[in-house]
Structure 1
Amino acid sequence: MENRRVTKNAHTNLLQLEEHLYTLVDVEKPNVFRNLFPYDEIPKIAFNDRIVPHNFPENIWITDTTFRDGQQSRTPYSTEQIVTLYDYLHKLGGPKGIIRASEFFLYSKKDRDAVYKCLERGYEFPEVTAWIRASKKDFELVKELGLKETGILVSCSDFHIFYKMKMTRRQAMEHYLSVVRECLETGVAARCHLEDITRSDIHGFVIPFCLELMKLSKEYNLPVKIRCCDTMGYGVNYPGAVIPRSVQGIIYGITNHAGVPSEWMEWHGHNDFYKAVSNSTTAWLYGACGVNCSLFGIGERTGNTPLEAMVFEYAQLKGTLDGMDTTVITELAEYYEKEIGYRVPSRTPFVGRNFNVTRAGIHADGLLKNEEIYNIFDTEKFLNRPAVVAVSNTSGLAGIAHWINTHFKLKDQNAVDKSHPVVALVKEWVDAEYESGRITVITDDELLDIIRQACEETATTMFGEN
């Protein structure tokens, strides 16, 4: 304590003691934090009430792992699908490139073809980056393709170091540093994926390791980025929670004690405990510029942080979309369903078929009177998805007409009103359903069938058909 210098903090203008220098703690036995992670019990969330300050960067962004982690949990995308999705990501990210980068596998010809075609687009953002095995041959492949950055797996918990890799912490660190050095020697920036960080020894391994990575960065004058991977979704964002589960504790420790710039910090979350979105937002708030996501959260096990969710988190935190085109989110959902054959669960926020559908009768009545009462924002403006009222015994003629107009996207002179003969026939059928004892709302498929029958009876062209 006596040998540590007193310096002025350029951010707060307050005097502070020079940070403690963290050195590797090379333990003989793995520390797997059994007190927090008893395998035969539910994991514990413990607190020590050590609060770290907010450190929201001036610029924050999203990075994409749809073609890497997203492909590890589903049928691989075709080259054409990857290129189309990349185009969508570019359009969604807007002129400021809020979707900053996207990572690609390079193992197969299909993957490499996709990389070539995406590079041919000439977009500045999302930058095409790689994810490869830690080998000299793969580093050369990255360089051949003209990529400036690649991800490297550097597992950091004792679970992985001792049980998977069969190494000590020192051996693992030395191995990782040699691999990163090989990468930097090829002139490619390294992005270190600190796997399983929320079960790792932050002060005894992660911070000392990051300090060494910053030395390599300085030596080669190339960025060495840090991706904090909450591989098992153990991270929590509660103030005063203990590390390694504390998201803000991890971000604070790496930025302040290891000297990693916010611009090189990134959070990669999984949703095992339903915290992927809140943890990613917390990483932003406490000093990470980047959050790593996949479209619709598709990823290993419970999935990654949904990219579309962080678009709206960004807007809520910054007070602006900064040019992002959120209508692309709906286009993406439609593309997944029609071209890829993947149906997003119906209640998924922003993209599910029923995310802005009001079903309860009393709610429907309120929505019909004023849309804002039961709609989160102008979903038609931002997502091309107008608020919908589900049909029940309380919907009435107006509710049925509203359903038809929104479902078939009928506007102005094409819209139907409650006097339309088809609306009347549908109303008769709905009333009969509830008079016979039904208590549930009418499903979309049922409505489409009865509307089709009503159109035939009244010699009306089926809505939406020429």
Structure 2
Amino acid sequence: MFGFSEKTNLIERKETEYPLQDVKEPNLFRNLFPYDEPPKIAFNHRLVPINMPDEIWITDTTFRDGQQSREPYEIKHILKIFDYLNKLSGPKGIVKQSEFFLYSKKDQDAVYKCLEKGYEFPEVTSWIRASTKDFSLVKGVGLKETGVLVSCSDYHIFYKLKMTRKQALEHYLSIIKECIDAGIKPRCHLEDITRADFYGFVVPFVRELMKLMEETGFPIKIRACDTMGYGISIPGTALPRSVPGIIYGLNHHARVPSELIEWHGHNDFYRAVQNSSTAWLYGSSSVNCSLFGIGERTGNTPLEAMVFEYAQFRGTLDGMDPTVITEIADYYEKEIGYTIPPRTPFVGKEFNVTRAGIHADGILKNEEIYNIFDTNLLLNRPVKVSITNTSGISGIAHWINDYFGLKEDQAVDKKHPLVIKVKEWVDQEYEGGRVTAIGDKELEKIVVEYSRKVGFNL
């Protein structure tokens, strides 16, 4: 069958139906996931079209997946972070939703207090397992949307749920129907989709969900969960690991509109950001993230990373205020007591610090040479240099002014006695055989010591 596509304005082969394959034995894709070896990346050389949606956005799981890998946040922390997410989101609400657990009184109290703030963005949503007992929690709190765990790989269906595919599908549909009957929008979390039989279970199951959506008029979101981080963004890779293939298949074969598709990635193989960007590129409107990537095992896609991925794709921040990212990082370290690895992009204390002497020289001449963008403007994080034997006396003056916040008439220049003394010490260090850069704390002690000797008040 062929028909005219209003989306592409071409005559195309219409989508075929994929019936459920209710197999007796689980398909574990042992050729790809041998377990006693690293997983394999297979290619089928099939390319699917890039299909960037009209609108893309970010959703947050800091208080759900993020809390699974660290001690629970205090309510005051949740409320402050929620304020920051609202401020970061901007007037267009690019950070559209934030999901919460509902299992403890503390979880529920945090949800109530966030709802009391009355923010349009991020919308408060929840997450439950596919059980009537969990669903009663959502009804009790009064949320408009909830995520529902619908594990889709045979690893989960056969070994965790102890069901057949048909039983799992029927069980999931019954919970989603309950959700709709209560007037709550369901978001179906297809756990472990990158190890699932895509055409044997995922597409048939999602088609049933889309039929249910057509019957009821209730939107049903599909979250593609790369639970183990197996997703591969390289074009031409084979399912079930192909991110382009998964998003295209959900959109084209299962007929899920882009605005109802969401990608949830993990970073087990260092691919979380790349896979999330790929999901956007091939037709998912939404990507699910957590602040600083904090999440189960190696973590989720870092939310702050996708802020800048959004800006690169769209050519604009669309009203998002990225300086809030620095405020959030400071809050985590100073108030929550969480240590951010210093070289973490955008938020680590040393992410825009250059140690190489030749780089430092370039930064002093024109910071665009070795800085990714105006980090002072966009993140309230001025570019920094680390002192080495090639930093020169101007580099030392720059470091002192920046580190101690000396501005205008307080600032020192390269002729200042303090700068000259520190330069002499630096030269002695490297003449004595030193080859490494001088750390901030080490140099701070030296500067303070010499400032007293030359009578300069820091």
Query: Do they superpose with TM above 0.5?
Result: yes
Cα distance, 1:408 vs. partner?
3.0
| Corresponding position of 1:263 | 259
SS across alignment from 1:335: helix
- Out of 165, 169, 177, the residue aligned to residue 173 of structure 1 is 169
| Corresponding position of 1:361 | 357
Give the aligned residue type for 2:94.
Answer: I
2: CA distance, partners of 1:415 / 1:219: 70
Q: 8 Å contact 1:156–1:195 — kept in the other structure?
A: yes
2: CA distance, partners of 1:197 / 1:449: 53
SS across alignment from 1:268: strand
Give the aligned residue type for 1:377.
Answer: F
Give the aligned residue type for 2:85.
Answer: L
SS across alignment from 1:331: helix
- Out of 11, 16, 22, the residue aligned to residue 12 of structure 2 is 16
Kindly report which structure 2 residues correspond to 1:234-383, keeping only aligned pairs within 5 A, or say none. 234-383=230-379
| Corresponding position of 1:119 | 115
- Out of 115, 126, 129, the residue aligned to residue 125 of structure 2 is 129
1:411 and 2:411 correspond: no
2: CA distance, partners of 1:164 / 1:7: 42
Cα distance, 1:456 vs. partner?
2.4
Aligned-residue RMSD, C-alpha: 1.2
Cα distance, 1:281 vs. partner?
0.3
1:183 and 2:179 correspond: yes
Q: 8 Å contact 1:139–1:186 — kept in the other structure?
A: no
2: CA distance, partners of 1:358 / 1:17: 54
* Structure 1 moving runs of 4+ over 4 Å: none
2: CA distance, partners of 1:129 / 1:408: 44
Paired-residue identity, %: 69
Cα distance, 1:429 vs. partner?
1.7
1: CA distance, partners of 2:339 / 2:420: 33
Q: 8 Å contact 1:140–1:186 — kept in the other structure?
A: no
1: CA distance, partners of 2:169 / 2:289: 27
Q: Report the TM-score when normalising by structure 2.
A: 0.98
Give the aligned residue type for 2:118.
Answer: G
| Corresponding position of 2:386 | 390
1: CA distance, partners of 2:422 / 2:71: 41
Q: Residue by residue, what CA displacement relative to the aligned partner does 1:194-225 show, whole Å, maximum 9, x if unpaired?
A: 11000000100001000111122233322211
Give the aligned residue type for 1:430.
Answer: V
- Out of 224, 234, 241, the residue aligned to residue 220 of structure 2 is 224
Cα distance, 1:445 vs. partner?
1.0
Q: Report the TM-score when normalising by structure 1.
A: 0.96
Q: 8 Å contact 2:68–2:296 — kept in the other structure?
A: yes
1:429 and 2:425 correspond: yes
Give the aligned residue type for 1:360.
Answer: A
1:73 and 2:69 correspond: yes
Cα distance, 1:409 vs. partner?
3.3
2: CA distance, partners of 1:455 / 1:336: 33
Cα distance, 1:83 vs. partner?
0.5
Q: 8 Å contact 2:90–2:321 — kept in the other structure?
A: yes
Q: Residue by residue, what CA displacement relative to the aligned partner does 1:237-290 show, whole Å, maximum 9, x if unpaired?
A: 111100110001000101111111111100000011111001000000110000
Cα distance, 1:423 vs. partner?
1.8
2: CA distance, partners of 1:307 / 1:227: 17
| Corresponding position of 1:440 | 436
Q: 8 Å contact 1:136–1:183 — kept in the other structure?
A: no
Q: How many positions carry a matched residue from both structures? A: 458
1: CA distance, partners of 2:151 / 2:391: 56
Give the aligned residue type for 2:144.
Answer: K
Q: 8 Å contact 2:130–2:150 — kept in the other structure?
A: no
Q: 8 Å contact 1:103–1:129 — kept in the other structure?
A: yes
| Corresponding position of 1:96 | 92
| Corresponding position of 2:453 | 457
SS across alignment from 1:175: helix
1:45 and 2:41 correspond: yes
1: CA distance, partners of 2:390 / 2:291: 37
Cα distance, 1:431 vs. partner?
1.5
Of 318-327 and 418-427, more deviation after overlay is shown by 418-427
1: CA distance, partners of 2:42 / 2:166: 28
Q: 8 Å contact 1:194–1:226 — kept in the other structure?
A: yes
Give the aligned residue type for 2:423.
Answer: K
Q: 8 Å contact 2:147–2:187 — kept in the other structure?
A: yes
Cα distance, 1:144 vs. partner?
3.2
2: CA distance, partners of 1:158 / 1:265: 22
